[in-house]
Amino acid sequence: MKESIKAIFLDRDGTLNEDKGYVHKVEDFALLPGVVEGLKLLKNEFIFIIITNQSGIRRSYYTVDDFHDFNRVLINTLDKEGITIKQIFFCPHKPEEKCECRKPNTHFIDLSVNEYNIDLNNSWVIGDHPSDALLGINAGCNTVFLLTGHGTVHYDELKEKNINPTIIAEDFLTAAKKILEFL
């Protein structure tokens, strides 16, 4: 049997890069503080997979090509730091389309498990939105709710919706250090 591996499922906007709202222009790309340092701490233990809701595509705010162009800058920037993103999954749909791939649905985690034989109990979802925390809970992963990006705006929703992340962290580096304590 193939040995199972641990993954970190990363939200993109507001988690890795600054989110000015439907961020998609290459010139607006900026990594958040602590992201490179945090990913470097985690990269020997986990593979990194991005799962991102991109309803701006179906809202016609930007195109799939714009989305990929932005990703390319992100991937290249991390690559120069020796950090590999294994795969990027995205949901282009609007919430009202009720698709199966929009977070907090676990569709893309399910696909990843099949592809990479991932040990979900020892894997994590990191994001700045309650739907990220809920995704992790739905999939049986540990979760980090970040207070970067939209995190502070949505913080109260956690309690209202009774969503309990494993960790609530000020920034990505803090999150990474706390995750290592669980190993």
Residues forming the site for Zn ion (CB under 5 A): 91, 93, 99, 101-102
Which residue out of 13, 19, 128, 132 is catalytically annotated? 13
Of 120 and 127, the one with the shorter C-beta distance to Mg ion is: 127
Let me know how long the chain is: 183
Stretch that binds Mg ion, among 6-14, 67-75, 79-87, 153-161 (CB under 5 A): 6-14
Cis ω before 165 (30° cut-off from 0): no
Q: How far is the CB of 159 from Zn ion (least distance, A)?
A: 27
Q: Considering beta carbons, is residue 128 or 145 the nearer one to Mg ion?
A: 128
| Shortest spacing between CB 160 and Mg ion, in angstroms | 19
Q: Which of 11, 19, 128, 132 is catalytic?
A: 11
Instruction: Please tell me whether residue 55 binds Mg ion under the rule CB under 5 A.
Output: no
- The answer to the question of residue 56 lying near Mg ion (CB under 5 A) is no
User: How far is Cα 128 from Cα 130, in angstroms, rounded to an integer?
Assistant: 7
| Whether residue 13 lies in the annotated active site | yes
**What's the DSSP call for residue 17?**
B
Count of other CB atoms within 10 angstroms of residue 64: 11
Q: 3-class DSSP state for residue 1?
A: coil
Residues 6+ apart with CB under 8 A from 61: 22, 24
Contact call for residue 32 and Mg ion (CB under 5 A): no
CB of 150 to Mg ion, least distance (A): 6
Residue from 50, 128, 135, 163 that binds Mg ion (CB under 5 A)? 128
Candidates 20, 22, 17, 21; CA nearest to 39 is 17
Task: Name every residue whose Cβ is closer than 8 Å to that of residue 104 and which is 6 or more positions away in sequence.
Answer: 131, 132, 134, 135, 137, 138
Whole-angstrom Cα distance, residue 62 to residue 42? 32
Residue 103 binds which of Zn ion, Mg ion, none (CB < 5-8 A, kind-dependent): none
Q: Which does 169 bind (CB under 5 to 8 A by kind): Zn ion, Mg ion, none?
A: none
Structure tokens belonging to residue 70: 């932005």
Which residues make up the interface to Mg ion (CB under 5 A)?
11, 13-14, 128-129, 149
Q: Give catalytic residues, as residue numbers.
A: 11, 13
